Every structure is written in C-alpha cells, then in structure tokens.
Amino acid sequence: MSAHKIEPAALVRAFKAFAAAIGKDNVFTAAEDQAAYSDHYAADDTLHRPSGAVAPGTVEDVQAIVRIANEFRIPLWPISRGKNFGYGGPAPVVKGSVVLDLSRMKKIEIDAENGTVIVEPGVGFFDLHDFIQSRKLPLWLSVPGNSWGSVAGNALDRGVGYTPYGDHAARICGLEVVLPEGEVVRTGMGAMKDSPNWQLYKPGFGPSWDTMFCQSNFGIVTKLGLWLMPEPESVLGLNIEFDKPEDIGWAVDVVAPLRREGIIQQSPSFGNWMRAAAVMTRREQWTTPGKPLDEGVITAIRRQFDIGWWSLSVRTYGPLDINEATLRHIQKAFNGKPVLSMKTTRWAKGDAPMGTPESGTPISFPLANANWYTGRGGHVSFSPVLPARGDLALAQFRRTKALYDQFKMDYHASFSMGERSMTNINQVLFDRDDADMVKRTDGLFRTLVDDAKARGYGEYRTHIEYMDLVADTFDFNGHALRRLNEKLKDALDPRGILAPGKSGIWPASRREKR
Ligand code: ADP
C-alpha cells in the first residue's frame, strides 16, 4: 500500500470496522452523505469531498475509530458541528478523508458558581444558551455572528464574538483530547486526577497545551473547558456612524488606545455599508448584474439603513456606575471628531433581554448574506492581522478596495479591534453558479494574500483550499515554524491519519502533496 493513497479496498474494510465498532447507523457512506459533508460554499464541492462520515457517541468510540483509521491508514477530519462556513464547513483538506462528526456528543457540565462550563464537541451555541436560560443561570455566552456551529469547534478555530469574552480561544481552560494514536489526555490541571482546578487555572504545570490543539491537527478534542461571563449589571454602548471611507484612519486611532488601556474590553468592529446590505437585501435590488456598486448605489444603501460608510458599535459591561464613567470617557475621546452620528444604547438588569449577540444571544440570520447574488451563494473570508494603527487601516482599506474593484467584486470588510492588533475581516461574497466570478474570487483572494504578506501581515484563519498558501507566508528562517509543527505531527501521528494538511501541516507520508 503506498504511504499516502487512500486505498479503496482499505476504505471499504475500514467502514466495515467502523460500523462494527460504533454501529452501522452511525456510519455514513452514501453519495448524499458525501455531499452533505462537503463544503456548501465551495464553487466545486467535489474538490474536498469526503468518502463519508462516522459519528461516535463517546470518547471510547472516538478511540476505537482512531485505532481503525491507523490500521487502514484512513485520514480522519474531526468536526464538531461542521458549520465553519467560509472556511470549508465540514469538508476536509484531503479529498476522500472520513469526516469524524462529533455532533452526537452533547454533554454540558456547568459550574455556575465559578462561571465555567465543560462542553462536548456537539454542543451548539443554541444548545448552551437554552441550557443556561432554562436554569436561569446568571451567565452569558459569547457567540459568533453565525452561531449555528459549536462552542468547541468555534473556539478551536479561534472564532470571535462581541462581548469581553469574544476571543473564544483565550477563554479555553482545560481540554480532554484523543491523540492520533488513541490515547486520551487531559491538559492543564486536568492532568491531575480529579483536580478541582481543571476549569479554573489555565496553564497547569510545565508546557501548556490548550493552544496547541487550536487550528492544529494534533488531537481530537472530546471535552472543552470554557470560561463564561457572569451576567453584567448593565451594558452601555455607542453606535457610531462615519460618513467618509477615509474616516477609518482617525477613528482607529481613537479606539486603539482605549483597547490597549483596557477601557474598552470587547472588540469593536468597524464594518462598511455592505454588512447591512448583504444580509438584508439582494444585489439585484440595487443594480443590474455585472455593474459595479457606484456612489449612487452606495448612497441609496446607506440611506435605506441610515448608516455611514463605516459603522462602529462599542459596548461596555459591568456595574452601572463604572459603566457610565467608562462611557463618558469613550465619548470624550470622540469629542471634536467628525463623526456622522453617535447614539447611546443602554441595557440594565431587569430590562427586557437584549436578544442580540452583544448579550451572547445566538443568531444565524447573517448567513443570509450568501443570497446577495442571484445564484447559489457562498463566501470566502480573507482576514489579515495588522498593527492597530489608523494610517495602516486606511492604507489597507485603499489597497484592498482597489483590488476588489480590479477583480470586479463588491467590497465587504470590517476592522475588528484587538488589544494590540486589528483583524481586517473581508467576506468575499460570490455566486457559485457564475464561473467567471468564481475565477475572479480565487484571483482576488490569492492577490490579497500576497499583498498582505508584502507588508508582513498574516491571516488569522483560513479556508481549507488556501491553508498551504497561507502557511507558506509564515516564512521566517526558511519556514522553521512549519518544520517544528511537522516534527511534532510526525511524533504524535506517525501514520498521518489526523486531518492531514490542516493549517498547512502535513504528515511525512503526504508532504510531497504540498
Ligand atoms: P463549528 O461547527 O463550530 O463551526 P466545525 O466543526 O466546523 O466548527 O470546526 C471548525 C474547525 O475546527 C475545523 O477545522 C475542525 O476540523 C476543527 N475542529 C472542530 N472540532 C474539533 C475537535 N473536537 N477536535 C479537533 N478539531 C476540531
């Protein structure tokens, strides 16, 4: 058997063994199953089509599957709920892999006093929200803009949300992981049997492994510890509109120090008018197909939604008296600046629930932006990280917008403010049924990656199709980081069965594929 090929006969035997181990009802090999576990936003979803899927119910099932995969050299692609839209959904890098669908594992263990939870991978944001609400626990989630997915999968892919707990990977505290050869480990304080500190103290003793399992292919996470935000007494905020594209420059310079100083504790995000237009309307409402969105259209969109060229929402969380002082401080920072409009928002305990992601309520309606074009829609996200500086934001906007124009695509961008950096998240929307647009989307994406790399900016996360491209840009000392990752990969996964190619990390047997 060649080292890297998925042998059809081995696959058949592996599927038989999977069925014997976890029950045939939990093994999916029909053509419609393969299609269901493909990337629903891909122009050609056969490029990363899996051979099928297996759905374990317990950690022992996961171990049994891993052992079978090792025996038959079958690559597994773990997913929690597989809703990673824009990054590949449930689909694997290597075509023909078997998707390890963990969505049946749905246990939730909450420590209400300490505000921590252990979730199994199948727990969705809606599940955890319902669980907390039905018990009236004073804890809030942080949810991503599309909250259809899982708490664990999103944190492991370094997803982000809107509250002070919005850096999801940073709130992980303790994992249970099945290693690629089947051993179960617990990280941090969980490495000590029955430790009461597993979800309370992140580092543990010695090297800290939680982050090693984020965006990696070193293990299958079967339990994920996470900190939850105690329900705040109040949430105050500002919704700020900016009239001109150039306003992004000075406005970033107002927000960046407030983030650095910890005065603003969540990540405010500047988004352009496309954010509202793409979710609430379709392109055909505004212009004819093939015509660019000119100034007239942009003005009409802005008028319909009463928004600026950029919109920014800032929220502060905590005791009311502290929040009021914080809000005044933030307002003062904008004093004398040419904002188009600034509205305050206010919620205090006892008010009707906000029901928005700012209060950790899951939503999925932003997925509607896939309908922007008339055909079957999709998007791919280009998300470089930059220093949090206004001049760099303005330059990034100008260069990126010019490239969108050159490739005849609609500019859709946000700048999400971190504590020291900002992430320029671009959702490149496209029509999967328009072959020319699909080609332009790919061209734009590759050009944007090169453009960012020329300035030393790397992506924070990427689609399965572009993992090698992006990993290639991390090139210090002849890609020393990749060598380190792959040394580790070979040690942990000698038969290269777990998610080969994830984040550009290939096992020895498949490295020539790069
Ligand atoms: P969600 O459904 O929450 O959006 P996905 O299940 O699509 O998340 O997974 C997002 C990414 O994280 C994928 O690259 C996937 O391979 C990885 N991933 C998800 N769950 C696990 C897990 N339990 N263990 C290891 N990697 C995982």
Distance 79 CA to ligand 1 centre (A): 4
* Topology of domain 8-103, CATH: 3.30.43
d(CA 378, CA 361): 24
User: Of all atoms in ligand 1, which is nearest to the CA of residue 156?
Assistant: 12
> Catalytic residue numbers?
87, 460-461
Confidence band of 375 (pLDDT split at 50, 70, 90): confident
Query: Three-state SS across 386-449?
Result: EECCHHHHHHHHHHHHHHHHHCCCCCCEEEEECCCEEEEEEEEEEECCCHHHHHHHHHHHHHHH
pLDDT of 14 above 70 = yes
Average pLDDT over residues 194-200: 97
Which amino acid residue places its CA nearest to atom 8 of ligand 1?
A: 153
Give CA–CA dist 221/118, Å, rounded: 12
Which amino acid residue places its CA nearest to atom 10 of ligand 1? Answer: 153
Q: What's the mean pLDDT in 427-431?
A: 96
What distance in angstroms lies between residue 443's CA and the mean position of ligand 1's atoms?
27
What CA–CA distance (Å, rounded) separates 454 from 386? 12
Measured by CA distance, the residue closest to atom 5 of ligand 1 is 82
Q: What is the pLDDT of residues 218-267, one digit of tens each?
A: 999 999 999 999 999 999 999 999 999 999 999 999 999 999 999 999 99
Q: Which long-range contacts (CB under 8 A, 24 or more apart) does 187-194 make?
A: 187/213, 188/225, 190/225
User: Which residue reads 């890609």 in tokens?
Assistant: 479
Share of the chain above pLDDT 90, in %: 97
From residue 358, how far is each of 161, 218, 229, 299 by CA, in Å? 8, 33, 12, 28
Q: Say yes or no to pLDDT of 3 above 70.
A: no
The length of the chain, given as a count of residues = 514
Q: How far is CA 113 from CA 139, 199, 200, 231, in A?
A: 10, 12, 11, 12
Mean pLDDT across the chain, nearest whole number? 96
Domain 108-230, classified CATH 3.30.465.10, yes or no = yes
By most ligand atoms within 8 Å of CB, the mutation choice from 66, 80, 154, 470 for ligand 1 is 80
What would the pLDDT profile of 267-278 be if each residue is shown by its tens digit? 999 999 999 999
Per-residue confidence (pLDDT) for residue 4, from 0 to 100: 67
Give the number of the atom of ligand 1 that is nearest the alpha carbon of residue 77. Answer: 16
- Ligand 1 atom closest to the CA of 154, numbered from 1: 3
Inter-CA distances, 295 with 61, 292, 300, 319, Å? 57, 9, 9, 44
Which residues lie with the beta carbon below 6 Å from any ligand 1 atom? 77-84, 90, 102, 121, 149-150, 152-154, 156-157, 220-221, 499
Q: What are phi and psi of 27, to 5 degrees?
A: -125, 130
CA distance 180 to 183: 8
Q: What is the CATH class of 234-461?
A: alpha beta
Q: Which of 151, 156, 216, 470 to mutate to test the pocket of ligand 1 (most atoms within 8 A of CB)?
A: 156
Ligand 1 center from residue 82 Cα (angstroms): 6
- Mean pLDDT throughout 179-192? 98
What is the tens place of the pLDDT at every residue in 107-136? 999 999 999 999 999 999 999 999 999 999
Domain ranges of the chain: 8-103, 108-230, 234-461
Strand partners, 414: 271, 425
What's the order of all strands across the beta sheet hosting 116-119? 108-111, 116-119, 220-227, 172-178, 184-186
pLDDT value at 321 more than 60: yes
Alpha helices (H) along 148-246 = 151-156
Query: How much distance in Å is there from the Cα of 421 to the middle of ligand 1?
Result: 25
Task: Please name the amino acid found at residue 440.
Answer: R
For 440-472, the pLDDT digits (tens) are 999 999 999 999 999 999 999 999 999 999 999
Pocket test for ligand 1, best of 63, 66, 93, 157 (most atoms within 8 A of CB): 157
pLDDT at residue 1, rounded to an integer: 38
Confidence of residue 75 (pLDDT cuts 50, 70, 90): very high
Protein residue closest via CA to atom 22 of ligand 1: 221
